Amino acid sequence: VTASVRPATPADLPAILAIHNHHIRHTLAIWRSEPADLAERTIWYEDRIRKGQPVLVADAAGVVAGFASYGDFRTGSGYAGTVENSVYVAEGWHRRGIARALMAALVAAARQAGKHTMVAGVGLPNPASVALHGSLGFQEAGTLRGIGRKHGRALDLMFMQLDL
């Protein structure tokens, strides 16, 4: 099954929620321990859409195999040209080019929107994410040491940046 990338609709939010909660529970990618619920994801989605920020899904014959989005990196008008991306792929769909396809579409959307920089904040260790972003041209830009906690561990956050 091949996946095609398309904008998410509200009907995709339960699948997006399930992927999000999987990564909250099982990986170091999202630094929180309490699961999200549909109301929270709906507010997130509507906020992105209202701001004109893309929320994309990889649709594999009706199954949401992953999603990607970008939001504001920081507030303040001086940061208006910089966005921070997120990309998550469902269990069982890894290593099939899903993230690469999502990110290609997300980067194209950011360029189209006139953005100049995309930042990935990668919680370490995450060799898959570092390799993914590196293969897309993101460059390592610095690491904040021990600023997060998850599963009882102190975690580093590495920033990677892509000049658009």
Residues that bind ligand COA (CB under 6 A): 23, 27, 29, 87-89, 94-100, 120, 122, 126-129, 131-132, 135
Residue 112: Cβ-neighbour burial (10 angstroms; 0-12, 13-18, 19+): exposed
Query: Shortest Cβ contact with ligand COA: which residue?
Result: 99
Would you give the DSSP letter of residue 37? Answer: -
* Smallest distance from ligand COA to CB 10, Å: 22
Q: Between 25 and 116, whose beta carbon lies closer to ligand COA?
A: 25
* Smallest distance from ligand COA to CB 84, Å: 9
Q: Between 103 and 109, whose beta carbon lies closer to ligand COA?
A: 103
Alpha carbon distance 147, 16 (integer Å): 27
* Smallest distance from ligand COA to CB 79, Å: 19
**Angle between helix 127-135 and 98-112 (nearest 10):** 50
Q: Are 102 and 58 in contact (CB under 8 A)?
A: yes
